[in-house]
């Protein structure tokens, strides 16, 4: 079965797996994992851009991978102003129209700030970015971000790096049902089966970093995620069978309607 | 209102609980999803000492999950060894006989150039206690100079006022490190023989002043060896978690400075051996899984290589604790403490890579100032 492409702004992506690039033991493993994942949209924190020192730089080597588009992120920003500044600089440095708005004032749990995220997204949309906001799984905020012109919304499954999976599943389902733009689950996914579950639920894509980088074999795990995302999407496209509600009553409740 | 002494008092029953900890308590602490003082006490107990391997495995798993397979690198830059302080344990104390020097702007530029050429992007500026030669204005001006060359500049200096901290941040300072040294009021008075630092309350309140002035990061710690390490650790834990609730937009870090031999031959009243230091690091990693834990070159190469990634996520390297040590090959002063791991940067990075850990030089950006 062919998998429908993912449309973000003006761009079409065959892959529905997006990957992050922090936490790897070196560039060689990171690049191999990105290749194995088949990801075409890859996020890098501006604070890890280091063009002066190639062996410390994440962005340069990724930009040279064929078929990969960089999506810089604003990790480290506490406010909309900072995020906007980071986004402008990142676009200048790598030329990508995509920006992952990531504003988490508390650096310990990295929970996204809805107020600052909304403000930054609004400015960056006006500045012509394809804005991809990382957000709590809040259906109202998702609609607000859609209304101002974001290219997607990226609600969390659970806390970044926690590996707690799709704790927000109920909220994600509401966001997916209501949304006219792609919903990408970002953060919390630990297993390929969770990535598949997000796709079956109707999410347009998933973004994975820690689950790949912190695996014993990151390259093999990247491959496993690629397969799971494809399987989940294929299942969604194939149409899942309806879930049974339970046993049917032996004495039908509507029996009285048939009594003459 | 809390002060250092009240944390020390509150920690006492937990320290006593640590002495009575059972194997079951340690297992419960390891399984706890929301650890507090009870769990920290259990993990610091003598019973937990016999489970050090289990603690290490858990600490490594937590470190890898949150920080990945990376170690952030920073380097200290000593601006001045002028000091008005009387810290009994410190090589800079004003009664130590040694030449007193401070870097002038040209020398700061030379030091910065030497460090930049090595690839560093994260620099910690240090001074002694305040003197007319090295006062808050001098620290602020030095920050402004160094911030031109590096993405991240932090300071470890004397306790300042909120306005002085605000001036530092405006000059490009990202964060402050200030150790309480000890939470035990008796030890504190005994160790800090004269000078402004003798005022324990002023020092204890310094983190809140820096945080109120909007420090982006704040480094805490106790000087290990001065007082009972378990009670110190519990006091520090409660202090940090209380600050986190009030000043929630700051990254807290913890360091584990241990008293080492230095000028003056000070003997630590509570010497800490390697397994105890490791246990402290593992226990803090398990109880504060997202707080960066920092280890300096005070420790040996073997200990540092072993503990990297098992809790510790940030390390200094190639450090000179003398003033002007990076651009002059024959430093004119004694260091604040003697460096144990003296390996040059490439050797240390190779050791990290051998352990499949990535040395990270740049993990911040000037655009975030």
Instruction: Clarify whether A100 is annotated catalytic.
Output: yes
Q: Is residue A246 part of a domain?
A: no
Per DSSP bridges, beta strands B312-316 and B70-78 are parallel
Distance, in Å, from the CA atom of B331 to the CA atom of A239, rounded to the nearest integer, reads 74
Question: B274 touching A, CB under 8 A?
Answer: no
pLDDT, tens digit (0-9, with 9 covering 90-100), for A151-179: 999 999 999 888 899 999 999 999 999 99
Q: What is the largest CA-CA distance in chain B?
A: 60
Distance, in Å, from the CA atom of A122 to the CA atom of A137, rounded to the nearest integer, reads 19
Per DSSP bridges, beta strands B217-220 and B175-177 are parallel
pLDDT score recorded for residue B334: 67
For A80, name the nearest residue in chain B, comparing CA atoms only: B368
Q: What are phi and psi of B312, to 5 degrees?
A: -70, 135
What does the angle CA B300 – CA B301 – CA B306 come to, to the nearest 5 degrees?
100
Report yes or no: B262 and B90 within 8 Å, Cβ to Cβ.
yes
Cβ-defined contact of B368 to A26 (cutoff 8 Å): no
Cβ-defined contact of A76 to B248 (cutoff 8 Å): no
Q: Residue B1 pLDDT > 60, yes or no?
A: no
Q: What secondary structure letter does DSSP report for A183?
A: B
B chain contacts of residue A56, beta-carbon cutoff 8 Å? 119, 121, 359-362
Mutate to test the interface with A, among B211, B367, B369 (most CBs of A within 10 A): B367
Cβ-defined contact of B69 to A25 (cutoff 8 Å): yes
Q: Residue B264 pLDDT > 60, yes or no?
A: no
Domains within chain B, CATH numbers bracketed: 4-363 (3.20.20.70)
Mutate to test the interface with A, among B290, B351, B355 (most CBs of A within 10 A): B290
Instruction: Tell me the pLDDT of chain A averaged across its residues.
Output: 93
Q: Using 50, 70 and 90 to split pLDDT, how confident is the model at B272?
A: very high
Instruction: Tell me the pLDDT of chain B averaged across its residues.
Output: 93
pLDDT score recorded for residue B260: 73
Question: B357 touching A, CB under 8 A?
Answer: yes
Cβ-defined contact of B361 to A50 (cutoff 8 Å): yes
Distance, in Å, from the CA atom of B130 to the CA atom of B127, rounded to the nearest integer, reads 8
Q: Residue A30 pLDDT > 90, yes or no?
A: yes
Report yes or no: A206 and A231 within 8 Å, Cβ to Cβ.
no
Nearest CA to CA, how far is A8 from chain B (Å)? 27
A vs B, Cβ pairs < 8 A, gives 86
Distance, in Å, from the CA atom of A228 to the CA atom of B114, rounded to the nearest integer, reads 49
Question: B121 touching A, CB under 8 A?
Answer: yes
**Bridge partners, B219 (sequence order):** B177, B253
How long is chain A?
260
* Residue located via tokens 């006492």: B12
Distance, in Å, from the CA atom of A141 to the CA atom of A121, rounded to the nearest integer, reads 12
- Three-state secondary structure call for residue B331: coil
Cβ-defined contact of B362 to A48 (cutoff 8 Å): yes
Cβ-defined contact of B362 to A108 (cutoff 8 Å): no
Going across the sheet that includes A205-208, the strands are: A154-155, A130-135, A98-101, A69-73, A41-45, A17-20, A205-208, A184-186
Nearest partner of B206 among B136, B158, B147, judged by Cα? B158
pLDDT, tens digit (0-9, with 9 covering 90-100), for B206-263: 999 999 999 999 999 999 999 999 999 999 999 999 999 999 999 999 999 998 765 5
Q: Token digits for B346?
A: 């490439």
pLDDT, tens digit (0-9, with 9 covering 90-100), for A200-259: 999 999 999 999 999 999 999 999 999 999 999 999 999 988 887 766 667 777 777 876
Distance, in Å, from the CA atom of B74 to the CA atom of B97, rounded to the nearest integer, reads 30
For B354, name the nearest residue in chain A, comparing CA atoms only: A25
Q: Residue B346 pLDDT > 90, yes or no?
A: yes
Cβ-defined contact of B362 to A50 (cutoff 8 Å): yes
Alpha helices in B130-273 (DSSP H): 136-146, 162-170, 185-191, 200-204, 206-212, 229-246
Q: Token digits for B160?
A: 């300042």
pLDDT score recorded for residue A150: 97
B chain contacts of residue A76, beta-carbon cutoff 8 Å? 364-365, 368
In total, how many domains does chain A have?
A: 1
Q: Using 50, 70 and 90 to split pLDDT, how confident is the model at B369?
A: confident
pLDDT, tens digit (0-9, with 9 covering 90-100), for B298-336: 999 999 999 999 999 999 999 888 888 888 765 556 677
Q: Is residue A18 part of a domain?
A: yes
B chain contacts of residue A59, beta-carbon cutoff 8 Å? none
Residue range of the domain that includes A78: 6-241
pTM equals 0.92
Q: Is residue A253 part of a domain?
A: no
Q: Is residue A53 part of a domain?
A: yes
Separation in Å, CA B189 to CA A193, B3, B5, B31, B157:
59, 15, 12, 39, 19
pLDDT score recorded for residue A79: 96
pLDDT, tens digit (0-9, with 9 covering 90-100), for A71-124: 999 999 999 999 999 999 999 999 999 999 999 999 898 999 999 999 999 999
Nearest partner of B177 among B76, B97, B31, B274, judged by Cα? B76
Q: Of residues A23, A100, A119, A173, which has the active-site annotation?
A: A100
For A105, name the nearest residue in chain B, comparing CA atoms only: B249
Nearest CA to CA, how far is A215 from chain B (Å)? 9
In this complex, the residue of A49, A105, A214 whose CB is nearest that of residue B68 is A214
B chain contacts of residue A53, beta-carbon cutoff 8 Å? 119, 361-362
Rg of chain B (C-alpha set): 19
Cβ-defined contact of B248 to A109 (cutoff 8 Å): no
Distance, in Å, from the CA atom of B115 to the CA atom of B112, rounded to the nearest integer, reads 5
Query: What is the domain-level CATH number for residue A43?
Result: 3.20.20.70
pLDDT score recorded for residue B330: 58
Cβ-defined contact of A47 to B363 (cutoff 8 Å): yes
Name every residue in A having a CB less than 8 A away from some CB of B: 22-26, 46-50, 53, 56, 76-78, 82, 85-86, 89, 105-109, 161-163, 210, 213-214
In this complex, the residue of B70, B356, B365 whose CB is nearest that of residue A47 is B365
pLDDT, tens digit (0-9, with 9 covering 90-100), for B127-171: 999 999 999 999 999 999 999 999 999 999 999 999 999 999 999
Q: Token digits for A213?
A: 């980088």
Nearest CA to CA, how far is A177 from chain B (Å)? 32
In this prediction the ipTM stands at 0.85
């Amino acid at each position: 079965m062919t998998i429908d492409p993912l449309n973000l702004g003006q761009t079409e992506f065959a892959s529905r797996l997006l990957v992050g690039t922090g936490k790897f033991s070196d560039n060689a493993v990171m690049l191999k994992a990105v290749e194995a994942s088949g990801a075409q949209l890859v996020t890098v924190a501006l604070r890890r851009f280091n063009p002066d020192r190639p062996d410390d730089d994440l962005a340069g080597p990724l930009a040279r991978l064929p078929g990969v588009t960089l999506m810089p992120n604003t990790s480290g920003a506490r406010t909309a102003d900072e995020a906007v500044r980071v986004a402008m600089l990142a676009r200048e440095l790598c030329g990508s129209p995509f920006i992952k708005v990531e504003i988490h004032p508390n650096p310990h749990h990295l929970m996204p700030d809805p107020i600052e995220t909304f403000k930054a997204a609004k400015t960056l949309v006006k500045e012509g970015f394809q804005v991809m906001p990382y957000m709590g799984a809040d259906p109202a905020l998702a609609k607000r971000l859609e209304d101002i012109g974001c290219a997607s919304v990226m609600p969390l499954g659970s806390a970044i790096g926690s590996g707690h999976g799709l704790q927000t599943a109920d909220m994600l389902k509401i966001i997916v049902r209501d949304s006219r733009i792609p919903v990408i689950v970002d953060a919390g996914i630990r297993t390929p089966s969770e990535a598949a579950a997000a796709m079956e639920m109707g999410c347009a894509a998933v973004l994975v970093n820690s689950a790949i980088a912190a695996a014993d074999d990151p390259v093999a795990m990247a491959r496993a995620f690629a397969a799971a995302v494809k399987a989940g999407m294929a299942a969604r496209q194939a149409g899942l069978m309806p879930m049974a509600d339970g046993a049917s009553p032996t004495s039908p409740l509507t029996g009285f309607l048939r009594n003459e | 209102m809390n002060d250092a002494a009240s944390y020390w008092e509150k920690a006492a029953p937990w320290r006593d609980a640590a002495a009575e900890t059972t194997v079951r308590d340690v297992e419960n602490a390891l399984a706890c999803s929301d650890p507090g003082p009870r769990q920290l006490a259990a993990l610091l107990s003598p019973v937990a000492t016999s489970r050090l391997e289990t603690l290490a495995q858990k600490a490594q798993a937590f470190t890898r999950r949150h920080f990945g397979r990376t170690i952030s690198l920073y380097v200290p830059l000593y601006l001045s060894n002028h000091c008005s302080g009387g810290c009994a344990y410190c090589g800079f104390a004003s009664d130590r006989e040694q030449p007193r020097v401070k870097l002038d702007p040209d020398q700061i530029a030379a030091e910065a150039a030497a460090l930049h050429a090595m690839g560093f992007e994260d620099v910690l500026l240090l001074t002694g206690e305040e003197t007319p030669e090295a006062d808050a204005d001098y620290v602020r001006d030095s920050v402004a100079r160094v911030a031109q060359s590096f993405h991240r500049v932090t300071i470890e200096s004397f306790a300042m006022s909120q306005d002085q901290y605000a001036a530092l941040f405006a000059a490009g300072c990202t964060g402050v490190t200030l150790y309480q040294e000890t939470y035990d009021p008796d030890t504190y008075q005994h160790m800090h023989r004269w000078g402004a630092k003798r005022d324990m309350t002023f020092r204890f309140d310094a983190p809140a002043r820096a945080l109120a002035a909007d420090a982006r990061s704040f480094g805490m710690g106790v000087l290990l060896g001065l007082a009972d390490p378990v009670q110190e650790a519990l006091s520090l834990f409660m202090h940090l978690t209380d600050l986190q609730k009030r000043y929630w937009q700051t990254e807290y870090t913890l360091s584990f400075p241990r008293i080492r031999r230095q000028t003056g031959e000070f003997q630590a009243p509570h010497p800490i051996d390697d397994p105890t230091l490791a246990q402290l690091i593992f226990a803090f990693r398990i109880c504060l899984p997202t707080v960066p834990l920092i280890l300096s070159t005070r420790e040996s190469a073997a200990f540092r290589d072993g503990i990297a990634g098992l809790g510790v996520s940030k390390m200094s390297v190639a450090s000179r604790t003398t003033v002007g040590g990076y651009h002059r090959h024959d430093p004119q002063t004694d260091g604040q403490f003697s460096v144990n791991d003296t390996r040059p940067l490439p050797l240390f990075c190779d050791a990290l890579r051998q352990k499949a850990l990535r040395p990270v030089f740049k993990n911040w950006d000037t655009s975030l100032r």
